[in-house]
Amino acid sequence: MKRSERIHRALERHKAAIFPLIQLNVAPAEVVELDFTSGNEALQNLDISDTSQFVHYMDEWLENYARVGIGGYGEDRLIYRRSSLFDGEKEPRSVHLGVDIWVPAGTDVYTPLDSVVHSFRNNDRFGDYGGTIILEHQLDDVHFYTLYGHLGVASLDGLKKGKEIAAGTPFATIGAPEENGHWPPHLHFQLISDMLGKEGDFFGVAPPSEKEYFMELCPDPRWILKLAEKR
């Protein structure tokens, strides 16, 4: 059985114990999936390398169409052209391996399951994750990781490898552009089956030619994603 399938089955067995990542306090209809592909014509007229323009675009979109934006797993995105970080040696990286939750800076992020801190880092290059925390989880005999990117840098204070964090604990906050890699405020949430020896960082975007490999390495995070919405 593939590792991703083992993770999926373990999460299904323990789904009642999964705690919502973010307390949204919005109605389900106010959570809308966003489109960052080349098919979104609004992006064609936007200088996505200009953080202030990108932030203004997102603020207007969320004000006019939704309270919260979400989505992006497996999406081949235009927006990574904003940074040379995604150029790649053979081809640009453009396939998103996590789910983004577009909410205001300062929003609390909660641990979905009992966790151990695997690693953390401030990845402060333009277009990078900014504040990043990677948690380690064990369900039955299944071992996996979750990554939280674009956090406030203060979220890293007091952390140490091996620190235990109980499910449902607020452990981080969404970062502002100047500390989150120069992005409009959002959480990048990713499920990882094997860290490949990396610490404090992991591939969040893959080259299209390697999509199948990376999506097996980083299974669908919607299996674990929960949001506490107003009913």
CATH code, domain with 74: 2.70.70.10
- Specify the residue for token string 């200088």: 47
Contacts 24+ apart (CB under 8 A), 48-55: 48/78, 48/79, 48/81, 48/82, 49/81, 49/82, 49/83, 51/177, 51/182, 51/183, 51/184, 54/79, 54/82, 54/183, 54/184, 55/177, 55/184
At residue 88, does pLDDT exceed 90?
A: no
Q: What is the pLDDT of residues 47-57, one digit of tens each?
A: 999 999 999 99
Q: Determine the pLDDT at residue 154.
A: 98
Which of the four pLDDT bands, split at 50, 70 and 90, describes residue 231? low
Q: Determine the pLDDT at residue 229.
A: 78
How far is 94 from 36, CA to CA, in rounded Å? 10
Q: Which domain holds residue 164?
A: 3-228
Which of the four pLDDT bands, split at 50, 70 and 90, describes residue 192? very high
How far is 56 from 45, CA to CA, in rounded Å? 13
Could you give the C-alpha distances from 62 to 48, 120, 148, in angstroms and in order?
17, 30, 22
All residues at 6 or more sequence positions from 174 whose CB lies less than 8 Å from its CB, including other chains:
103, 104, 105, 106, 107, 109, 150, 151, 152, 180, 185, 186, 187
Average predicted confidence (pLDDT) for the chain: 94
Which of the four pLDDT bands, split at 50, 70 and 90, describes residue 230? low
Tokens of 109: 């992020």
Q: Taking residues 179-200, what's their average pLDDT?
A: 97
Q: What is the pLDDT of residues 98-145, one digit of tens each?
A: 999 999 999 999 999 999 999 999 999 999 999 999 999 999 999 999
Q: Give the count of domains, the chain.
A: 1
Q: Determine the pLDDT at residue 161.
A: 97
Q: Taking residues 168-184, what's their average pLDDT?
A: 97
